[in-house]
Amino acid sequence: MGWFDWLRKRRILKPYNDAAVVEVPQATVEQSVSEGLMISEYAVRLRLKNAIAVDAVVSPREYDALTYLPEASAAYTELADESRQAADRLTEELANTVGRVGRAEHVHDYRRGDESNVRHRLMVATEAATALQQKAGQEEYLLDLIEKARQDAWAEMSASLLDHALQYTPDAPEQLSPVDRDIELASLRAELEALTDE
């Protein structure tokens, strides 16, 4: 109790009202699969971007999108296998869930009331596995994804080069004025763009 009590404001809480709770409808199978495909595309793109960036630094060979095609296909195949394994596990869960009564003991203890949710998850996993496997074989789609990953890698690497270019220039002045710094960065950008055009 001290002199800090006057700082505390008393909150008046409203009583809990069940009717005020808005229940969000469950997503459809198509919506869930679409969201899963979007997330998996981003994961594959990130994996390819990292591979392209590492190869640009380490490998002496020139960039060729076709060299990353097997890796892109393998990434989608791995995700499809993972989704198939989830579907197999959910099939077992569904078989164990049917007819079980009572309250769940933990989060992954499914009972009769959870059958519709487990069925929904099973359908999503099955359709996602099929869609991911199809994407693994679409060469044109994969080449487009590789190009997007290359652009991401180049944007990241060029930003890093621009940020650190003046630090490693031996004859750079100690500290540039903001105007001179902008001029230096503009000339570096022009040089990098000229190199990318070659």
Provide DSSP, 41-70: HHHHHHHHHHHHHHHHHH--SPP-GGGGHH
3-state SS class at 64: coil
Name the strand (E) or helix (H) holding 151.
helix 139-164
What pLDDT is attached to residue 47? Answer: 96
3-state SS class at 156: helix
Write the CB contacts of 104 (distance below 8 Å, at least 6 apart in sequence): 110, 111, 114
What pLDDT is attached to residue 21? Answer: 84
Global pTM? Answer: 0.71
Low-confidence ranges of the chain (pLDDT < 70): 1-9, 166-174, 198
Say what the alpha-carbon torsion angle 180, 182, 183, 186 is, to the nearest 10 degrees. Answer: 160
What pLDDT is attached to residue 108? Answer: 74
Q: List the end-to-end C-alpha distance of the chain, in Å, as a whole number.
A: 74
What pLDDT is attached to residue 160? Answer: 83
Residue 95 buriedness (CB in 10 A; 0-12 / 13-18 / 19+): exposed
What pLDDT is attached to residue 107? Answer: 75
- Gap between the Cα atoms of 125 and 118, Å rounded: 10
What pLDDT is attached to residue 66? Answer: 94
